[in-house]
Amino acid sequence: MGYFVVYILKNACCLSVFFLFYKLLLAKETFHEVKRFMLFCCLILSAVLPLFQFTATDLSGIQAPVLEVQEFLETHFNAMDKVSTVDSFSWKHIIVLIYFLGVVTFILHLVIALFRLAKLLHLCRLHDSQDGIKLLVHQINVSPISWMKYIILSESDLETDSSIILEHEKAHIRCGHSYDQLFVALCCILQWFNPVVWWLKKELEDVHEYEADEWVLDKGFDAKTYQLMLLRNVAGLKYYTVVNNFNRNSLKKRIVMMQSRKSSPCSLLKCAFILPVTLLAVTAFARPETIAFSRDLGQITIASIQYNPLLRKITHTLPGLTEPGELLVSQTENSAQPHHLLPYMNSDGVYQLADEQPRFPGDVVGVINYLNRNIRYPEQEYNLGHQGRVIVQFVVDSDGTVRRPVVVRSVCPSMDQEALRVVGTMPRWIPGKVNGVNVPCFFTLPVTFKIQ
C-alpha cells in the first residue's frame, strides 16, 4: 500500500507542476490542437514518470526531502499490509479509507452519468444519419449534445439554428473529444482529491470548445451571427461532463478567444517547457547513487547506497530474515561465519528504537558524500563483474562512535570486508537519545556494489 500512496502523491505533484507551467505559458495561445496535445502530455507524463526508478550520482537539495517523505510513507503504509487487528486501526487506515471511498463515489458518479446519457439516447428519435454521425432529436429543451457518433438536438434548435449547431457538434465528433472526456474522467477518479486535475479538466473542455468554434468559423459562417446564436442558447438540460454541451463553457471566454489574434508560430517554442519540467521531476524522484574512483583500477566504479533513513527504526526487519534473532553473517578474515542476530535490547542496553534515532552529520547527504569519498570497489570482483548489496548492522554508541559492525547480509568476502572497513572508519555520529539522554542504538546500512 505504501508504494501506491507514494505513486499517487508523485502523480499529483507532477501534474500540478506540469499544469502550472501550461497555464503560465500556453493557456492564452490560439493553437488549440497543440494545447490539447500538451494537456494530454501533462496527464500522461505525470502518470508514467513515478513508475520509473531513476538513479543519480549525487544527492541534490531537492532529492533529500523527497526521499525522506517517500521512505516515511512507504514504511508506515506498508506496515498496514502486515497488520489486520481492529486495535491497530490508525490515521493511515482512515486516509486510505477516505481515498477509496472517494474513488468509489466518483466511479458511481460516472456510471450514473453514462446511464442517464444512455436513457436520453433511447428516448430520442433518429432524424438523420450522414458520414457515420447520427442526428437524434428530443422534444424537451435539452442543450445540444455530442457524444461519440451521436448528436442530440431539441426540436426548437432543429428548427432555428440547426446548421451552425450541427457543424459545431460535428467538430467535436470528428476531433474525438468524447474520448478525451472519458479519459480525463478516469484520471479525475484516481486524482479526485487533487484540485489541479479538475482545473485541467475544465481547461480541456474550454480547449474543445475553442477548437469547435474555430472549425465552424473556418467553414465560412459569420462570426457575429455565430456569437449571437451562442448567446441565445444559454439554457437547456445539461448532463454530466463526459458529453460535449454546446453552451456549457464560458461564453465570454469563447468569444474573446474567437476575437483574439492568431498566435505567432514562434509561440510554439513555449511547448518546450515540458522538457525542463520532466527533467525536474526525474531529478526530484531519483535515488542516490555514489561514484567512487578506484585508485587501483584507474576507472570509475559505482557503489550505490540504497539509503533508507527510516531503517534505523526497523533495523531488524531485513529482507530474507523472517524473524529478528534468526541469523547474522559476521565477516572474519578468511570467511563468513554464522552467528545469532543481536536482540532488540541486549544485556549492554543497546536500543533498537529511541526517542531520537542516531544521525550521521549531514544526514542523507552526509552519508552519501562520505561513501563517495571512501568506498573502493574490490578489484577482483570488479574484473569478474560481480555486483550485490551488503547490509551492515552496527551500534552507534552514546558518544557517537561506531562499534561492532557486522554483516547482516553477505555478498562475498571482499565486498563484505570493504563494507565493514568503510563503516568501521566512519566519523562520530550524532547519538540517539532516550528521555534526552544519549544512548547506544542499533543502525542498519544497506550498500549496493554496482558496476556501471
- Domain annotation for the chain: domains and CATH numbers: 2-282 (no CATH), 290-450 (3.30.2420.10)
Q: Is the pLDDT of residue 442 over 90?
A: no
pLDDT digits (tens, 9 = 90+) for 74-99: 666 655 555 444 456 677 788 889 99
Distance CA 293, CA 287 (A): 20
Long-range contacts of 105-111 (CB under 8 A, 24+ apart): 105/192, 106/188, 106/189, 106/192, 107/189, 109/240, 110/185, 110/186, 110/189, 110/240, 110/242
Q: Is the pLDDT of residue 224 over 50?
A: yes
> 256 in helix, strand or coil?
helix
Give 183's contacts (C-beta < 8 A, 6+ positions apart): 43
Of 315 and 448, more confident? 448
Of 213 and 299, more confident? 213
What is the pLDDT at residue 353? 75
Residues 133, 173 contacting (CB under 8 angstroms): yes
Residues of the chain with pLDDT > 90, as a percent, come to 24
Distance CA 163, CA 293 (A): 73
Cα distances (Å, whole numbers) of residue 351 to 75, 394, 450: 20, 12, 32
| Residue 308 pLDDT grade (very low, low, confident, very high; cuts 50, 70, 90) | very low
Residues 303, 447 contacting (CB under 8 angstroms): yes
Any idea what DSSP says for residue 321? Answer: -
pLDDT digits (tens, 9 = 90+) for 356-402: 888 888 777 778 778 777 888 888 888 888 888 888 889 999 899 99
299 grid coordinates: 576507472
Helix (H) or strand (E) holding 396: strand 388-396
pLDDT digits (tens, 9 = 90+) for 252-294: 788 888 888 888 888 889 888 888 888 888 877 766 554 333 3
Beta-carbon neighbour count of residue 80 at 10 Å? 17
What is the pLDDT at residue 204? 94
Beta-carbon neighbour count of residue 208 at 10 Å? 24
Unique residue bearing C-alpha cell 480541456: 204
| Residue 139 pLDDT grade (very low, low, confident, very high; cuts 50, 70, 90) | confident
Residues 221, 155 contacting (CB under 8 angstroms): no
Of 324 and 60, more confident? 60
Lowest-confidence segment of 134-143, 157-166, 190-199, 320-329 by average pLDDT: 320-329
Average confidence score pLDDT of the chain: 77
- Residue 382, Cα to own-chain centre: how many angstroms? 36
What is the pLDDT at residue 156? 78
Overall pTM surpassing 0.75 (yes/no):
no
What is the pLDDT at residue 329? 32
**pLDDT, mean of residues 15-44:** 92
Lowest-confidence segment of 28-32, 206-210, 221-225, 243-247 by average pLDDT: 243-247
What is the pLDDT at residue 81? 55
SS3 content of the chain, % helix, strand, coil (to 5): 50, 20, 30
What is the pLDDT at residue 241? 54
Q: Is the pLDDT of residue 147 over 60?
A: yes
Q: Is the pLDDT of residue 406 over 70?
A: yes
Winning range, highest mean pLDDT, from 117-131, 319-333, 350-364: 117-131
**pLDDT, mean of residues 127-147:** 85
pLDDT digits (tens, 9 = 90+) for 412-441: 989 889 889 989 889 999 998 888 889 898
